[in-house]
Amino acid sequence: MSGLFGVVSNRDCVETLFYGTDYHSHLGTQKAGLAVFNHKLQRSIHDITVSQFKSKFAEELASFKGKMGIGVISDHDPQPIIISSSFGNFALVMNGLLANRDKLIKEIMNRGSSFSELSSGEINAVEVIGKLIAQKSGILQGIENVLDKVKGSASFLVLTKEGIYAVRDKFGRTPLTIGKNEGVLAVASESCAFPNLGFRTEKELGPGEIVLINEKGLQKIKAPSNKEKICAFLWIYTGYPASVYDGISVETVRERCGANLAKDDKIKADLVTGVPDSGIAHAIGYAAAAKIPYRRSLVKYTSGYGRSYTPPSQKIRDKVAKMKLIPIKEVVGGKSIVICDDSIVRGTQLKNQAIQKLWRCGAKEIHVRIACPPLMFPCSYCLSTRTNKELAARRAIKKAFGEKTLPLEDFLDYKNCRYQKMVEAICKELGVNSLRYQSVEDMIEAIGLPKERLCLYCWTGKD
């Protein structure tokens, strides 16, 4: 996952670009980059694995000048990339996952193009998009080429001398929103970037929609399709609480998820708590619906640690998770606790960094409530960090049923006894008194979009 921000202004845009990009820092922990256009393209990319975006770019910011710019916080590839094509130079940032990446690379190479390699030996996926654009005789034909050829998803911003082309992926799995201020237009993955920079939301791009923003304003280049499959996980975990997608607030969806979890839950607890940050709104919703006090049992020392499952190495993930959450013994001791979290991916962090800390502080009982169903399938569209065998649900199935091949559908239906046995195995592994997940149906109801417009692949394995 990556976060994109672009701005076109009637004055220098660099400060807005800097802060707007920074508001996407929760979406990536590897690389960050900025590019501006001022007669020619100027670009800088930094590694943000150890230091945050702001500290990396603050000093060189004075050397940037321009009225148009794009920025990115990237979880994998270095970007923006700059491509020289027959129709001019352009800078490019991208959020997505190319499921047919190897095929695309082969096709591009067969046409005589070559790639620069990353130090890891992998080819940069953003460069693949850039080459697909440059293959054609004009920018729009190039953008259409990307939308036609990419399997998976790719939302991207292209900075050219005529403005910024903003393109949302074909099925709208990842969002892009346009913001407007006097004389200034911006585009962002996260609409939470807008209010403090003085922007109001002008429009959200639809699936496959293309717009151009420049000093003349917003030009609609290609209308959206009606085949939307927006990522449901945005509301559950990856999105920022103050953002809105398809007109629906992340925070309020999380509160509704919590309320759904409280429905028919018979647990008599002393307090409800959330795993910071994204478990908090789920817990607030649960506490309000169950009429149990919400209290903070774990606090995050600094948001500077970022997300703990995005860094690619397990060692770094564990270290980050261990350091950032501090339990409050005076809240936890002797209490029966309901703890809400967004999801269980591997389960190790929830266990080691939240549950065990609560037990060590003297919790009497711990009941875990999870805002989405068990994750059963790795994402092929925007998150690259999971594999089948890492998922807690898959491991639990193996533990409970051995190597027997059983129909996966049985584990997707919460009323099925095999599903219940799988959840019991995860509960045992976590070492808690009880564990419940929200059902797919309740999660869809909490989001409030028709099922057909949501990507639910993580949980159902169906497109």
Q: Cite the annotated binding site for [4Fe-4S] cluster by residue number.
A: 231, 379, 455, 458
- Give the residue numbers of the binding site: 231, 278, 341-342, 379, 455, 458
* Shortest reach from residue 236's CB to ligand SF4, in Å: 9
Q: Which is nearer to ligand SF4, 229 or 317 (CB)?
A: 229
Nearer to ligand SF4 among residue 213 and residue 447 (C-beta): 447
Cβ proximity of 172 and 189 under 8 Å:
no
Q: Which is nearer to ligand SF4, 328 or 444 (CB)?
A: 444
Binding positions for ligand SF4, 134-173, rule CB under 6 A: 173
Rounded least distance, CB 456 to ligand SF4, Å: 6
Report the residue number, 194 or 381, with the smaller CB distance to ligand SF4.
381
Task: Kindly tell me which of 212 and 440 has the beta carbon lying closer to ligand SF4.
Answer: 440
Q: Give yes or no for residue 232 binding ligand SF4 (CB under 6 A).
A: yes
**Contact range with ligand SF4 by CB under 6 A, out of 138-146, 176-184, 230-238, 328-336:** 230-238
Q: What's the CA gap between 33 and 53, in Å, rounded?
A: 9
CA angle 192, 197, 200 (to 5 degrees): 65
Tokens of 20: 């707007």
Who contacts 120 (Cβ-Cβ below 8 Å, separation ≥6)?
none
Binding to ligand SF4, residues 203-222 (CB under 6 A): none
Alpha-carbon span 369 to 274, nearest angstrom: 9
**Among 88-96, 104-112, 195-203, 231-239, the segment contacting ligand SF4 (CB under 6 A):** 231-239
3-state secondary structure 424-446: HHHHHHHCCCEEEECCHHHHHHH
Which residues are known binding-site members for Mg(2+)? 278, 341-342
Supply the DSSP string of 50-117, one letter for each residue: SS-HHHHHTGGGGG---SEEEEEEESSS---EEEEETTEEEEEEEEEEETTHHHHHHHHHHTT---PB
Closest separation in Å from C-beta 234 to ligand SF4:
7
- What tokens appear for 188 in the block? 């962002």
The DSSP bridge partners found for residue 36 are 42, 69
Q: Are strands 184-188 and 81-85 parallel, antiparallel or unpaired?
A: unpaired
- β-pair type (68-74, 271-274): unpaired
* Per-position b or e across 290-308, b if 16+ CB within 10 A of its CB: bebebbbbbebeeeebbbb
Facing residues of 160 across strands?
163
- How many residues interact with ligand SF4 (rule CB under 6 A)? 12
Task: Using CB under 6 A, pick the residue from 231, 257, 391, 435 that binds ligand SF4.
Answer: 231
Residue the block writes with tokens 């491509």: 83
- Residue among 354 and 375 whose Cβ is closer to ligand SF4: 375
Shortest distance in whole angstroms from residue 232 CB to ligand SF4: 5
Q: Which tokens hold the place of 60? A: 């060189």
Site residues for ligand SF4, window 344-383 (CB under 6 A)? 379, 381-383
Of the candidates 290, 339, 368, 455, which one interacts with ligand SF4 according to CB under 6 A?
A: 455
- The Cα–Cα gap between 99 and 381 comes to 7
Least distance (Å) from ligand SF4 to the CB of residue 109? 28
Give 344 or 458: the residue with its C-beta nearer to ligand SF4: 458
Residue 363 or 443 having the CB closest to ligand SF4: 443
**Phi-psi label, residue 223: left if phi above 0, alpha if psi -120 to 50, beta otherwise:** beta
Nearer to ligand SF4, 155 or 160 (CB): 155
Angle at 152 between CA 405 and CA 316, to 5 degrees: 75
69-77, 101-109, 343-351, 454-462 -> range binding ligand SF4 (CB under 6 A): 454-462
Task: Give the nearest distance from C-beta 153 to ligand SF4 in angstroms.
Answer: 7
Residue 231 CB, nearest distance to ligand SF4 (Å)? 3
Q: Contact, 243 vs 196, CB < 8 A?
A: no
What 8-state DSSP symbol labels residue 451? Answer: G
Q: Is 235 left (phi over 0), alpha (psi -120 to 50) or beta?
A: alpha
Tell me the window of 33-41, 227-235, 251-259, 264-272 that interacts with ligand SF4 (CB under 6 A). Answer: 227-235
Please give the residues from 171 up to 200 whose contact with ligand SF4 meets the rule CB under 6 A: 173
Report the nearest approach of ligand SF4 to the CB of residue 375 (Å): 8
Give min distance, CB of 174 to ligand SF4, in A: 8
CB of 181 to ligand SF4, least distance (A): 31
By beta-carbon proximity to ligand SF4, the closer residue of 8 and 456 is 456
Residues of the shown chain interacting with ligand SF4 in the complex, contacts defined by CB under 6 A: 173, 231-233, 379, 381-383, 455-458
